[in-house]
Every structure is written in structure tokens, then in C-alpha cells.
Amino acid sequence: MTSKLLAGQDVEVDPEGFLVDASQWNKDVASAIAKEEGIDDLTGQHMQVINFMRSEYMAKGTAPNIRLLGKTSGVTVKELYQLFPKGPAKLAAKIAGIPKPHGCI
Amino acid sequence: MNRLLILGGGTAGTIVANRLRRRLDEDSWQITVVDQDDRHLYQPGQLFVPFGIYQSRDIARPRRQFIPDGVDLVMGEIEQVIPDESVCRLIGGRELPYDYLVIATGASPRPDQTPGFEGPEWRKSIHEFYTFDGAAALAAKLAQWDGGRMAIHIVDMPIKCPVAPLEFTFLADAFFSDRGMRDRVEMVYVTPLDGAFTKPVAARHLGGILEERKVGIESEFAVERVDVEEKKLVSYDEREVDFDLLVTVPLNMGADYIERSGLGDDLNYVPVDKATFLSKAHDNVFAVGDASDIPTSKAGSVVHFSLELFEDNFVNHVHGRQMTKAFDGHANCFIESGHGKGLLIDFNYDTQPLPGRYPLPGLGPFSLLRETEANHWGKMMFRWVYWNLLLPGNNLPLDPLMSMAGKEEEEPA
């Protein structure tokens, strides 16, 4: 684990840059991570997905996968790929400050 | 009389029926298994059918042959489980009340979940090998195919036997080489993962074999649909993969009645405690094998190891005692790599597959994550082990929990 300065705040991150402690997250931290990932502006739709992911994680202890996101977050899978290019579930989890969703073996 | 109802007479359901019939007194426990047909498939054998190594008849036997005396086998399709009333309703109206329920209805490929699969090209240029009919249709196709671009594709994880698509790729490479047509086949491996496999050390080793065999890899590919006219896979981020022959692994899902019964997650898998398989929602419901949501491979190997521990837990639970055995996610499997060789992997919830040696009294040690002939023979021998030792619910001379003995730690890349 390493410590990292994001939006003027010290946070713990894993080797891939995912927050270790979801409680260290706030909107400014989210914007800072998003910028590093090439998303300059977190829109309302981005935040809708991010808030959904956080509430799912808090309730269930795991991050929702892309299929579940498409079904239940109010944003289609296609839009998810536009909002969070390449790997929406992974990238949205990173910006949402929750652990990397680990694909099952 | 206590009633134990087991839904599904596949690998997990059959082993549970055999193990628990021995443990539960016949005078006080009635055991019933429900399945929709009387054909038990040796599923690991389906991998070999497309290449003519096994024929369809080599991998199927009647289910009832493996259901022990003292267990009722009911043929029927499940409509719904009503957990609050502890009753299971079959299509047609028959009701099966239970005191304890074990869900073992597995996972199935669902081509209907990807637009374009089940259209005019299904089983013509779009194939799969996870069903009895699909494997046979692909065998007929490969026997007369004269080459082109072959895409081996996984829709999404988790899937049954996550190494099978890689094994299929290795075997196809060997098949085309043996027929003197490998230079007429371009092969590409299309996966939603970021590499050849789910876990980094094995992904490196297996990815290396793909490269050696001149198989391209298209990773992080989340398929949206197949364009049937243009014969190409299209992803959500608008990448395209052309094919002449597509061998796909459709989305895997648990049975539909699980959704109708409100017992499942978004893929119809039943959320359970990963150490004991007790449902998170109902104290008299367990889900075993592929039907549960435990975070490991959906594979017979997991079923075998997990049920060795489940047996004691179940007996303790129904007597109101603590369940003392905790499953660690242990599994191992032989990976066929073609040309008479194979690899072996051994892992659990916390330890990814590592190289080294797997000790086995009498037969071993087998090499882990390395291609050897012994591993190939281990795989071929396994069919006999499955019918004769595994299904009857015998303990194999392997520890159900994983051991680090023989394994070599590998530095992250």
C-alpha cells in the first residue's frame, strides 16, 4: 500500500491506484482520479453511476459488474462505455473509491 | 419423517445424494432428487467431442445409474420454489414439500442473451461446445471445414470450466496441424478479461502458449452483438472481430426458476456463505456446485472438494449444531494443451494457480503450470475416476483443502 496526495488529501491506494479505504473518498478525490484517467469532467450521469456503485458496495460488500450496472444503474451498457471508456466497471469503481472488482477465476 | 429435496441430478446433486444417503438414517430421512431428464453428461468430455477424440456416446449415461437405492428420482421441470412455505412446485402442478432444500441445478450457456447468436448462422458459422448437441454439431463442422479465420470467444465471466476455451484453442491448433491445414487457419482468442486467464501468473504461462501457437488475442472485449451478415463480433466500445467460424462460450446463467423464486443474483446464482454453502436468505436452503455464487471456478473439481466438507456441515446443521468445516475454494484441474500434453493448476479462494509440483501418493507428483505427458494422461484417466469414484461420493486421496506444498511463489511481473 502506498500513500498518495489526491485533491490535497492523503489517501491510501493499492498498486493499481484503487482506494484501499472507501471512507477516504469524496467528490474532489473522485474528480482527481477521473482526471488521471482522462475524464476531465464528471457529469451528472457519471455521478449517477458512481453513487450507485458506492451504495451497492456499501450494501453488499462487492462492486457490481457491468451487466448489473446496465440493468440497474439507470444507464445502459453502451452509455457506460461512453462514460467510462475501455472497462466501465473497473474505471467507475476506481473513481468511486471502492476496491477493484475482481473477475472470478 | 424429514424430507431432503435435491434440485438437480448432475455432478453436485448426485454426489450430495450419495453422500447424504449414507449419513442420514433411512427411517427418519426421505431424500428426493429432481431433474428434467435422465441423461447425465460427463461435461469435461465435451471438450474432446468437436475433435473426434470422444464420440457423443462416450460422455453420456443414465442419471438413475448413479442415484443410490433409497433416493427417489423425480423427472420434472421446476416451476418455482416457495421458500417461505418450504415447497417446490413442478410445471404441471405437482408439489414437493421439503424440510431442507439443496439447490444443485448448475449453470447453463445462454446464447439467447447475445443478439445475433441464435439467428440463421447458429450451428452453421456460429458454434459452441458446452452442450451435447452443440459439441456434436461442431464436430461435424470441423470435420469438413477447409480453413479461414476462427474466433474463439467468451461472452462474459463466470463460465463453467474457465480453462476450457483455452484448451479448445490448443486442441484446435493441434487438430489443424495434424490435418496439414494450420497455415490455412487464422486463430484469434477473444476474451472479456485483460489476458488469457483470470489470474496473473497462470495468465502469463497460458498467454505464452497462445503466442507460441500463433494465436492472436483480443482482450477486454465486451461483446454487444454479432453482426450475422458481415460475420463479425461487435463490442460495446465499437471494436470488431471478423470470423469465418465463431466458437463462442455464451453467457452462463443459473436456472430460470431461481429468478422466478426470488432466490438468485443478477445471473440467477444463489448467494451463499462461501465456507458452508448455506443460503444467505434461508436457513433450510443450501446451494452447491455451479448454482451458488461462491467466488471460484464453476467446475466439477470445486464440487468434489467442497462436498467432502459439506457432508459433515449438513449433518451438524440439521441437528442444530455448529457447521465446523470451512471450504477454502480449493480446486485443481488438468489443462489439455494438445499433442498429447497437458498442464495442471491447483488453487483456492486466496491463492492463485502457481508453478511447482503437486504431490500425489502413488501416481504423482504432477507438474504445475508446465506441459507434460503425465498431465495429459491424468486428464484422460479422469473420466473413469468421475463415473466410478467421484459421482458415488467417495473421498479421493487428495486433501479437500489446498496445500502450499510443492508450489513456487512467483514474483509479480
Q: Is the pLDDT of residue A103 over 60?
A: no
Inside any domain, residue B388: no
Inside any domain, residue A26: yes
> Would you call B198 and A103 a contact, using CB atoms and an 8 Å cutoff?
yes
Q: Which of A1, A5, A59, A104 is catalytic?
A: A104
Inside any domain, residue B209: yes
Q: Please report the pLDDT score of residue A72 as a whole number.
A: 84
Residue bearing cell 429468478: B259
Three cell numbers at B334? Answer: 488438468
Position A104 confidence tier, pLDDT thresholds 50, 70, 90? very low
Q: Please report the pLDDT score of residue B349 as a whole number.
A: 87
Position A7 confidence tier, pLDDT thresholds 50, 70, 90? confident
Domain count, chain B: 2
**Residue type for A54, please?**
R
Q: Please report the pLDDT score of residue B410 as a whole number.
A: 67
Mean pLDDT, to the nearest integer, of B152-165? 95
Q: What are phi and psi of B287, to 5 degrees?
A: -130, 130
Distance CA B214, CA B209 (A): 9
Q: Please report the pLDDT score of residue B201 as a whole number.
A: 87
- Catalytic-residue membership of A85: no
Distance CA B258, CA B268 (A): 6
Q: Which residue has the higher pLDDT, B222 or B175?
A: B175
Three cell numbers at A61? Answer: 460488500
Q: Which residue has the higher pLDDT, B412 or B9?
A: B9
Are B207 and B85 in a shared domain?
no
Inside any domain, residue A100: no
User: Among A11-25, B50-64, B281-295, B348-362, whose mean pLDDT is lowest?
Assistant: B348-362
Are B103 and B118 in a shared domain?
no
Q: Which residue of B has its CA nearest to A86?
A: B237
Inside any domain, residue B34: yes
Q: Please report the pLDDT score of residue A37 as a whole number.
A: 93
Q: Is the pLDDT of residue B49 over 60?
A: yes
Distance CA B164, CA B129 (A): 10
pLDDT digits (tens, 9 = 90+) for B70-127: 999 999 999 999 999 999 999 999 999 999 999 999 999 999 999 999 999 999 999 9
Inside any domain, residue A12: yes
DSSP B345: E
Distance CA A35, CA A39 (A): 5
pLDDT digits (tens, 9 = 90+) for B6-37: 999 999 999 999 999 999 999 999 999 999 99
What is the distance of C-alpha B33 from the center of its chain?
Answer: 20
3-state SS class at B134: helix
Which of B251, B279, B305 lies at the terminal end of a domain, its last residue? B251
Q: Please report the pLDDT score of residue A31 as a whole number.
A: 95
Domain that includes residue A76, residue range = 2-95
Are B173 and B135 in a shared domain?
yes
Inside any domain, residue A101: no
Distance CA B139, CA B150 (A): 14
Are B97 and B129 in a shared domain?
no
Q: Which of B102, B37, B32 is CA-nearest to residue B76?
A: B37
Q: Please report the pLDDT score of residue A102 as a whole number.
A: 64
Q: Are B151 and B188 in contact (CB under 8 A)?
A: yes
Read off the CATH number of the domain in which A80 is found: 1.10.10.370
Q: Which residue of B has its CA nearest to A60?
A: B271
Inside any domain, residue B327: no
Inside any domain, residue B358: no
Q: Output the pTM of the full model.
A: 0.91
Mean pLDDT, to the nearest integer, of A63-77? 84
Which positions in chain B touch A105 (Cβ < 8 Å)? 158, 162, 198-199, 295-297, 347, 352
Position A64 confidence tier, pLDDT thresholds 50, 70, 90? confident
Which of B318, B351, B373 lies at the terminal end of a domain, its last residue? B318
Per residue in B369-408, is it b (16+ CB within 10 Å) or e — as a string? bbbbebbbbbbbebbeebeeebbebeeeebebebeeebbe
Inside any domain, residue B383: no
Are B192 and B98 in a shared domain?
no
A79 reaches B (C-beta below 8 A): no
Nearest to A78 among B193, B236, B267 (CB): B236
In chain B, % of residues over pLDDT 90:
82
Mean pLDDT, to the nearest integer, of B186-195? 93
Position B175 confidence tier, pLDDT thresholds 50, 70, 90? very high
Are B210 and B141 in a shared domain?
yes
Inside any domain, residue A104: no
> Would you call A86 and B296 a contact, using CB atoms and an 8 Å cutoff?
no
Mean pLDDT, to the nearest integer, of B136-140? 98
Inside any domain, residue A90: yes
Read off the CATH number of the domain in which B272 is found: 3.50.50.60
Inside any domain, residue B86: yes
Q: Is the pLDDT of residue A105 over 50?
A: no
Inside any domain, residue B369: no
Domain that includes residue B57, residue range = 2-109+253-318
Are B93 and B143 in a shared domain?
no
Inside any domain, residue A62: yes
Nearest to B198 among A68, A80, A104 (CB): A104
pLDDT digits (tens, 9 = 90+) for A44-62: 999 999 999 999 899 888 7
Q: Please report the pLDDT score of residue A48 as a whole number.
A: 94
In whole numbers, what is the pLDDT of chain B averaged over residues? 94
Three cell numbers at A42? Answer: 464528471
Domain count, chain A: 1
Three cell numbers at B90? Answer: 413442478
Q: Which of B375, B318, B327, B322 is CA-nearest to residue B350?
A: B327
Are B104 and B12 in a shared domain?
yes
Q: Is the pLDDT of residue B359 over 90?
A: no
Q: Please report the pLDDT score of residue A69 as a whole number.
A: 86
Which positions in chain B touch A67 (Cβ < 8 Å)? 156, 266-267
Distance CA A97, CA A9 (A): 13
Inside any domain, residue A102: no
Are B31 and B92 in a shared domain?
yes
Are B67 and B120 in a shared domain?
no
- Name the H helices within B90-131: none
Q: Please report the pLDDT score of residue A8 as a whole number.
A: 86
Are B180 and B205 in a shared domain?
yes
Mean pLDDT, to the nearest integer, of A61-86? 86
3-state SS class at B323: coil
pLDDT digits (tens, 9 = 90+) for B266-299: 899 999 999 999 999 999 999 999 999 998 889 9
> Would you call A86 and B162 a contact, using CB atoms and an 8 Å cutoff?
no
Distance between B72 CA and the closest CA of chain A, angstroms: 35
Are B140 and B170 in a shared domain?
yes
Q: Which residues of B touch A (CB under 8 A)?
A: 156-158, 162, 193-194, 198-199, 220, 222, 224, 236-237, 266-267, 295-297, 347, 352
Which positions in chain B touch A86 (Cβ < 8 Å)? 220, 237
Q: Is the pLDDT of residue B167 over 60?
A: yes
The partner residues of B235 in beta bridges, in order of sequence, read B223
Q: Which residue has the higher pLDDT, A105 or B328?
A: B328
